[in-house]
A and B are shown apart, each in its own frame.
Chain A
Amino acid sequence: MSDLLNSLLDDARLWRGHRQLATEPTPEHTGFATLDKELGGLGWPRGALSECLLDGPGIGELQLVLPLLQRMTKRQQCVFWVNPPFTPYAPALARADVDLGQVVLVRTENQPDLLWTLENCLRSQATGLVLAWPDSLAARDIRRLQLAAEAGQSTCILFRSRQEACQSSPAALRLELVPDDRLGLKVNILKRRGGWPGQGCRLAMAARVQQDVTEASTVIHGPWPDHQSG
């Protein structure tokens, strides 16, 4: 190449089209102000895996991702539910303003299919969010999924058992979810990018059953005594 061209290329005033940098993606806020604050304003990482570790269903784990779900489907990005333990209940999702046209439920039969599915979903441009409930995942597999998520710039949230908390994982964000006694959810940050782990916060989740927390202390007596006697 000629010297003239080289000197031109060195000139900082020359803007070269093919070296453009993509604009910084806006963070995927969790929708919970307290949790966003703990996560340093980064929210759910895009192009990386997140893990939610929990003991059992029904503690508000879907409530935690619901704001993200609403936003993704509104943006016409596809949300895949891979091997959920129960049926995502369509009337409840519709009530929560989730566009069901963007929700795809995927069931796989075996572990290789599951990994293949996750990897393909994560690599695709069309995917906004992948929610997955894998039985067990080796660290090797998680790293592979992590790379796939990076390639596709999609968000992936794995729901795993709390026993995995002691295992190390390449996921970018690890949250431990524990229910508290006032219908809320205690979120412990086990690992996050750009900050120290160990923080935690309490999220009020009582709204999912249309309850005020103050009201929750007054016990509504159902027909329980009847059952105990019978």
Chain B
Amino acid sequence: MPWLYLHFQHLLLDHIARAREASAPLAVLCQGSRCVLQACPRAMARGVQPGTALKTALNLAPELVMVHADDNRQARILEQQAHWLYRYMDRITLYPPDGLLADAGSVRRLYGGLQPLREALQKALGERQLHATLTTGTTPLAARLLARAGADCFTEGTEVMATNLATLPLAATELEQRTLQRLTRLGLTTLGELQQLPAAELARRLAPETLVHIQRILGQRPDPQTSWQPPHEFRQRADFGLPVEKAQGLLFALQRILADLESDLQWRQQDTDSLLLILHHYRQEPSHLQVRTTGPEHRAEAFLNLLRIRLEQHPLQAPVETLELRVTRFLHRHTATSTDLLGETRDTGEAWHTLVSRLQARLGEQALKHLAPAADHRPERAWSACSLARQQREPMPEHLPLRPLWLLSQPAPLQVAPEEWLSGPERISGGWWDGERVLRDYYIARLPAGQLAWIYRHNQQGWFVHGWFG
């Protein structure tokens, strides 16, 4: 029953401060009026207060980084917070733009009371450099209003909650402005005073909606909550107050996100093999960087190394305003095979994946190939190169004729007369079925320089070298 509400006083500010390495003062501006809405402690020290006009603020702190308040953006940030809160509590409801509600009753026994839960949450908030007011209430709305009013009310006792609620000023109950005026004229200032009036009278004098609202606060009327479901993907954004121009500047924020990803994957007990990094630019199409590892991976360090290589290879097209990391593919985790007693033979599977992922990140996925024989009589078609990602084994052809170890990608005309003929001819004729007809007589011959060549005679064009017996 007790409901827990987290009210983030300045979520946007905390979020941006977290993504930035530099320590410039930061302020959030009102969307319409040009004044400061929220200011970070560093800006506060310079005299920039909430409510300060923009011009004054700029004079006080010329290097001030300003961000416009944006409810959509803040709602997205709020959902990020729900992600980590979900590890502590279930049945979370989002109250955009700045609040999260959770049912504390269902986890009370798990934590052994609300106080240990509060400590755990405070620690988690501290790690994420977030500032939030935590309150409990008997109803969702009560918890929310107390938190928004900034009341210090975190308790397990329902009586204490009720008294706290009774002292709540009516101005903080989110009633309509007109209703509020009427109530003030009646001489009512706190919720407790309103509570003592008979409900029928209230409904008659005020609107019925007002009564519903008050009954919801007091728990006399049901207030069902829809629980938030964590999506089956990982998505985090880092917003930079000032656009970042160098890839180096992204790494700081990336490190944080990847650490979150690691703990998220750890929590899911899953791995992933592809990350999508989206860089949002100012008035430009966002650029997408896809990074793949060859095997399942969850370590932040491994991802960071790959992303670093990738960013070195692909310089930023434009300054980056927002960075977004998305992981939608999750793989089952399997335990690594252990090493022997003295630790001399290592498990090379993981090393192999790391190496190949690194090479692919720098050289591109097409630069690395596996080779396989293919079932065709034509020498240039009797092999295939496939990418490393697919590890399917095709059965080896039963009979493999004598072939050179080197094959020329394009047959080269024979320039010198061979000294010695070693074997041949071997007639290869085929391809009439797909239009690339081949009719050749192959010989093995030794050239004057001592090289063993695999040469053929084309029925019209003459002699060609097609391979070397290296």
Residues of A within 8 A of B (CB): 20, 22-23, 55-63, 66, 76-78, 84-96, 100-101, 103-109, 113, 116-117, 120-121, 124-127, 178-181, 183, 208-211, 216, 219-224, 227-228
Contacts and interface: CB of A to CB of B under 8 A. Distances in A.
A107 B367 contact: yes
B369 A58 contact: no
A89 B443 CA distance: 17
A120 B344 CA distance: 21
B405 A183 contact: no
B102 to A, nearest CB: 46
Contact of A106 (B349, B363, B441, B451): B363
B423 A93 contact: no
Given A101-B370, A105-B370, A106-B367, A93 B405 contact: yes
B45 interface: no
B396 A94 contact: yes
Interface string B9-49: 00000000000000000000000000000000000000000
A91 B452 contact: no
A61 B450 CA distance: 12
B109 interface: no
Interface residues of B, number: 67
A113 B468 contact: no
Given A58-B406, A86-B409, A126 B371 contact: no
Contact of A222 (B351, B383, B443, B450): B443
B124 interface: no
Nearest 10 A/B pairs, CB to CB: A179-B450, A58-B468, A58-B451, A126-B352, A62-B470, A90-B383, A126-B351, A125-B351, A222-B421, A124-B355
B408 A108 contact: no
Contacts, number: 193
A59 B451 contact: yes
A91 B382 contact: yes
B470 A58 contact: yes
Contacts of B1: none
B97 to A, nearest CB: 46
Given A85-B406, A209-B422, A224-B417, 9 more contacts: A58-B469, A62-B470, A86-B407, A91-B403, A100-B371, A100-B373, A116-B362, A121-B359, A223-B441
Nearest to A211: B422
Interface in B421-470: 421-425, 441, 443-447, 449-453, 457, 463, 467-470
Contacts of B463: 227
A147 B447 CA distance: 39
Contacts of A86: 406-409, 467-468
Given A58-B451, A210-B423, A89 B406 contact: yes
Contacts of B362: 113, 116-117
B406 A105 contact: no
B403 to A, nearest CB: 4
Contacts of B406: 57-58, 62, 84-89
Contacts of B344: 22-23
Tell which of B346, B397, B400, B443 has the most Cβ of chain A within 10 Å. B400
Contacts of A125: 346, 348, 351
Interface of B: 342, 344, 346, 348-349, 351-352, 354-356, 358-359, 362-363, 367-374, 379, 382-385, 388, 391, 393, 396-397, 400-409, 417-418, 420-425, 441, 443-447, 449-453, 457, 463, 467-470
B405 A92 contact: yes
21 contacts: A78-B355, A86-B407, A86-B408, A86-B409, A93-B371, A93-B405, A104-B369, A105-B370, A105-B385, A106-B363, A113-B362, A117-B363, A125-B346, A125-B348, A125-B351, A126-B355, A179-B450, A210-B423, A211-B422, A220-B423, A223-B457
B356 A209 contact: no
B355 A127 contact: yes
Contacts of A127: 355
Given A55-B449, A91-B383, A105-B385, A60 B470 contact: yes
A56 B451 contact: yes
B267 to A, nearest CB: 29
B432 to A, nearest CB: 22
Contacts of B356: 104
A89 B417 CA distance: 25
Contacts of A92: 400, 403-405
Contacts of B358: 120
Nearest to A105: B369
A20 to B, nearest CB: 7
A91 B422 contact: no
A89 B404 contact: yes
A108 B382 contact: no
A23 B463 CA distance: 55
A211 to B, nearest CB: 6
Contacts of B441: 223
B371 A90 contact: yes
A90 B400 CA distance: 10
Contacts of A87: 383, 406-409
A143 to B, nearest CB: 22
Contacts of B368: 104-106
A181 B450 contact: yes
A190 to B, nearest CB: 19
Tell which of A62, A77, A91 has the most Cβ of chain B within 10 Å. A91
Nearest to B352: A126
A210 B402 contact: yes
Given A58-B469, A63-B470, A103-B370, A216 B355 contact: no
A77 B362 CA distance: 22
